[in-house]
Structure 1
């Protein structure tokens, strides 16, 4: 784990990629939230929050998407959940019952910093720690994200990187203050509400290949 702060000045140019309009993306979000809306609430600078959330030190609306259903679900719900002795994982109900998955697409081209490869990460003075480290280090990854936005890539509308929990796919964060037009639009497919019985069955089908299942409802538990 790199225990050093970002350099004062960048040593090179980040690698810019354009995510084209029409690209399908998937978002796990609070069921109360508009599927295409940004999260306006800054994370705590030192404790709770996501990898590249805003903080009170640098405020911006943000949202995360996966480029596949598995990446979206795993990144949102399977953070730091250990396997038990049988090689299975149990997802606690409070982690998903108030969440939904929405089927979206990019409504416009979006220019993002690529953090996909070793060369991409080196261009922002980092290595795989930035996109693979667990939540205990997120205060530091947020600080690095702010530095990349502010110092290295003031043009960046977001970042894209390999999913830690589904490495065959990608995830991205988008920044509201850098997107002149709303970047997401619904595809027309109905969202999946994980708090319903049908939504829970759908979620369990997605989680099964990852050897994970939702914890049973209280009345289903064996006393």
Structure 2
């Protein structure tokens, strides 16, 4: 589907899912940025960026988070980390965790999102699993599709819900700052985990261990 442009009209009715207030969110982010801040910087239309980032073609603040700590960690740290043919744990480069933390958040208000989990839900927006499973080299295309879905679900869609690519049993969200009320996300009464500390590294390795991975020495 990467070389197929979005159609003029939706083929079906996008799946609306309401995330209730109090829904836990887990975010792995640079420690220098507030945990609840939306990213205000559009990605380049063609290079770099994430799956559903804003671009200059559709500028908006955006925020990615996992519905579990595991999905937040896997999505951020296990991209393109291969398994060792010898069976030893795969190693996450130490630079990938430098200056980063895991924050524990929750929704302060309910949000309506487009669910992109099942085949039927994807078909309703003229897509299939490619949209949520494509690798980074195809993100310029997924961003364009994301903008098209936003256009056709304006104004109600405040984000997308999709399966975690690296932990398919869990879900992740991308939220749109231009359609969310102020302070829609708040921090829980749980201290964030700073990965630059010995305790933070221990906790990170405990999250990575079931995925046969660990931080490189």
Q: TM-score range by the shorter chain?
A: over 0.9
d(CA) in 2 for partners of 1:16 and 1:151? 13
* Aligned counterpart, 1:195: 196
| Deviation (angstroms), 1:182 | 2.1
Equivalenced residues, count: 216
TM-score, structure 1 length as denominator?
0.93
Indicate if the aligned counterparts of 1:115 and 1:160 stay in contact, CA closer than 8 A. Answer: yes
* Aligned counterpart, 2:33: 33
* Aligned counterpart, 2:71: 71
Indicate if the aligned counterparts of 2:2 and 2:141 stay in contact, CA closer than 8 A. Answer: no
| Deviation (angstroms), 1:86 | 2.5
| Deviation (angstroms), 1:151 | 2.4
| Deviation (angstroms), 1:198 | 1.3
Alignment of structure 1 residues 31-180 onto 2, 5 Å: 31-87=31-87, 88-180=89-181
| Deviation (angstroms), 1:153 | 4.3
CA deviation string 1:175-209 (max 9, x = no partner)? 10000232211111000011112111110110011
Long gaps (5+) in structure 2: none
* Aligned counterpart, 1:210: 211
Q: Where do 4+ consecutive residues of structure 1 move more than 3 Å?
A: none
TM-score, structure 2 length as denominator?
0.96
| Deviation (angstroms), 1:13 | 1.6
Long gaps (5+) in structure 1: 217-223
SS of residue paired to 1:73 = helix
CA deviation string 1:48-101 (max 9, x = no partner)? 011101111111100111111110100111112111222431111111111110
SS of residue paired to 2:139 = helix
* Aligned counterpart, 2:18: 18
